[in-house]
Amino acid sequence: MCFKTKFIIISFCFISFNSLCQNTFVPDDNFEQALIDFGFDTAPLDDNVPTSNISNITDLDIASRNITDLTGIEDFISLTNLDCSDNQITLLNISQNTNLIELYCSANQLINLDVTNLSNLVRLWCFSNQLSNLNVSQNPGLISLRCENNLLTNLDTTNNSILNVLVCEQNLITTIDVSNSVGLNRFQCGNNLLTSLDVSSNTNLSYLSCEQNQITDLNLTDNSRLAVLICFNNELTALNLSQNSSLTGLECERNKLCSLNLKNGNNNNMVLVDFDSNPDLNCVVVDDLNGNRSLWEPAFFPNYVDTINDCNLVVPVDSLENVIGTAYTLPILSSGNYFTESNGMGTALNPGDVITTSQTIYIFNKTTCNSNESSFTVIINNEDYFIPKYFTPNNDGVNDVWQVYDRLNLINNISIYNRHGKLLKFLPNSASGWDGTFNGELLSSGSYWYEIILNSREVLRGYFALKR
């Protein structure tokens, strides 16, 4: 055999031997001991593990082994599932583990985590670390992401369209966009710095917890599958859950709620409901006013109502009769204040003010959340008697009755006729009026005639209008 041939054979044998004997550097004794326990290495601890023993491993569970350094993980090139949670790891280089499908690295001391090379990643649990940034834009197949209890200030999930579970609570996140994650089923973003939250695109959402943020508005009308809502300790002033017929649990205590609509047809199945510590909430809309709510909090809530419009009725407001006279002094009110326009607008009037011009005066009362209002008309007339030209009997409390004002008690009786001369109402004096009915039926708009007999037997005749 020539020298050249011998050299080639010797070289080939050396290369083959070196390949078979290649080692992976594993400096962490606890990591190496785990590999010894699994049979991938043999004692004693020497910081080296045969690469051929680990290169084909697909599943590796080294959780809770007090590992601080995971150097050597880069040679586990076949890994699809890695669980290194509950250790003391500060640095995790998985850039070479491109086959990873599931990565569990929670409860460590990680400051950085680069998963951009893991395009096959489906599940990532990295909660309870010290991460200030997390880029999951290159993980389009991600289904479950848990990154709670970190230092994240933002989280971009716009490329994670099939995300099913997202838990990012206990961070420093100010905004989050989950509009592209249309399949999101469970979303937990509590204990952040959110001021708004849009889940209108997440129609499959069944569990939402966004407690302890600064959210002022939460629209859930498109989330018909929502079963559990936890939103306590926010800045919510209104919460409409009338479209959430699957809801079974609600915690919305310690907000600033003015209105709460729970009329969703599922109250009987809502076993956990807590809306306590909303001091301005004076009514709650429910399915059945007589329903069993013994397990709801607060245990004794006085004002369950049938519609949201009924909430205003809870606010007390004084009511005064219409007045006709030469002047009128506004009396003291127990509930409400005087205004010259509706809804507390116009000029504020005070008890004791003397009204000398004809006008409608409004009594308006408002709490933090709701309001209520009444009104009355003051007609200033210096004549002996005043005969109204029209009235509007529509039960709005304003000019509902046609009534003659008799300042000097000069009127004996009043008769009211239709245009055919049929007697509709006889009034023995001016103290009472006519409400626009005959035999209990409402009469139509039009002209009606009056005949007034004075004590002097003088007769006054004329007409007035009924307007509906």
Q: What is the pLDDT of residues 286-340, one digit of tens each?
A: 999 999 998 999 988 988 999 988 876 668 899 998 888 888 999 999 999 999 9
- Which residues, including other chains, have CB under 8 Å from residue 279's CB and lie 6 or more apart? none
Average pLDDT of the residues in 130-153: 97
Q: CB–CB of 204/186 below 8 Å?
A: no
| Same-domain check for residues 434 and 400 | yes
Residue 456 lies in a domain: yes
Q: Pull the structure tokens for residue 388.
A: 């109204």
Same domain, 367 and 392: no
Which residue(s) pair with 442 in the sheet?
A: 437
Domain tally for the chain? 2
Looking at the domain assignment, is residue 299 inside a domain? no
HSE of 429, CA atoms in CB hemisphere, 13 A: 7
Of 380, 412, 435, the residue that ends a domain is 380
- Count of other CB atoms within 10 angstroms of residue 9: 11
Judge whether 355 and 330 are in contact, CB under 8 Å. yes
335 lies in some domain: yes
Strand 23-25 and strand 371-380: the pairing is unpaired
User: Vertex 45, ends 43 and 50: CA angle to 5°?
Assistant: 75
Q: Is 396 found in the same domain as 358? A: no
Q: Residue 139, class by beta-carbon neighbours within 10 Å (0-12 exposed, 13-18 middle, 19+ buried)? A: buried
Q: Tokens 């007045």 sit at which residue? A: 323
- Alpha-carbon distance 245 to 265, whole Å? 6
With respect to residue 431, please indicate whether it lies within any of the assigned structural domains.
Answer: yes
Least confident of 53-57, 266-270, 307-311, 446-450: 307-311
Interval 85-100 mean pLDDT: 97
* Contact indicator for 130, 148 with CB cutoff of 8 Å: no
Confidence class for position 149, pLDDT limits 50, 70, 90 = very high
The answer to whether position 141 is within a domain reads: no
Count CB atoms within 10 A of the CB of residue 321. Answer: 9
**In a shared domain, residues 390 and 452:** yes
Cα distance between residue 240 and residue 231, in whole Å: 13
Structure-token pair, residue 386: 């005043």
CA 441 – CA 431 distance, rounded (Å): 22
Q: Rounded to the nearest 5 degrees, what angle is found at the Cα of 196, between the Cα atoms of 194 and 197?
A: 95
Do 372 and 391 have their domain in common? no
Within this chain, do residues 395 and 369 fall inside the same structural domain, yes or no? Answer: no
Q: Please provide the average confidence, as pLDDT, over all residues in the chain.
A: 92
Domain identity same for 459 and 402: yes
- Residue that wins the pLDDT comparison between 198 and 385: 198
Per the structure block, which two tokens stand in for 47? 């910081």
Q: Is residue 148 part of a domain?
A: no
Q: What backbone torsions phi and psi does residue 30 show, to the nearest 5 degrees?
A: -70, -35
* Residue 115 in domain: no
Q: How far is CA 125 from CA 106, 132, 282, 392, in A?
A: 6, 15, 43, 70
Tell me, yes or no, whether 343 and 368 share the same domain: yes
Phi, then psi, of 51 in degrees rounded to 5? -60, -35
Last residue of a domain, one of 380, 412, 433: 380
**Beta-carbon contacts of residue 229 (< 8 Å; ≥ 6 apart):** 208, 209, 220, 241, 244, 247, 249, 250, 251, 252
Do residues 327 and 344 share a domain? yes
In terms of residue numbers, what domain contains 322?
315-380
pTM to 2 decimals? 0.69
Alpha helix (H) residue ranges in 212-254: none
Which of the listed residues 335, 356, 380 is the one where a domain comes to its end? Answer: 380
Tell me whether residue 423 is in a domain.
Answer: yes
pLDDT tens digits, residue range 335-391?
A: 999 999 999 999 999 999 999 999 999 999 987 777 889 999 898 888 888 899 999
Taking the C-alpha atoms of residue 441 and residue 335, their distance in angstroms, rounded to an integer, is: 35
What lies within 8 Å, CB to CB, of 415 at 6+ separation is 423, 425, 426, 427, 450, 451, 453
- Tell me how far apart the alpha carbons of residues 222 and 60 are, in angstroms, rounded to a whole number: 42
Q: Closest Cα partner for 48 from 33, 19, 26?
A: 26
- CATH number at 408 reads 2.60.40
pLDDT in tens, 96-140: 999 999 999 999 999 999 999 999 999 999 999 999 999 999 999
**Residue 150 per-residue DSSP state:** S
> Residue 159: is it exposed, middle or buried by C-beta count within 10 angstroms (0-12/13-18/19+)?
middle
Q: Is the pLDDT of residue 201 over 60?
A: yes
Q: Which SS3 state, helix, strand or coil, does residue 74 take?
A: helix
Q: Regarding beta strands 102-104 and 123-125, do their DSSP bridges make them parallel or antiparallel, or are they unpaired?
A: parallel
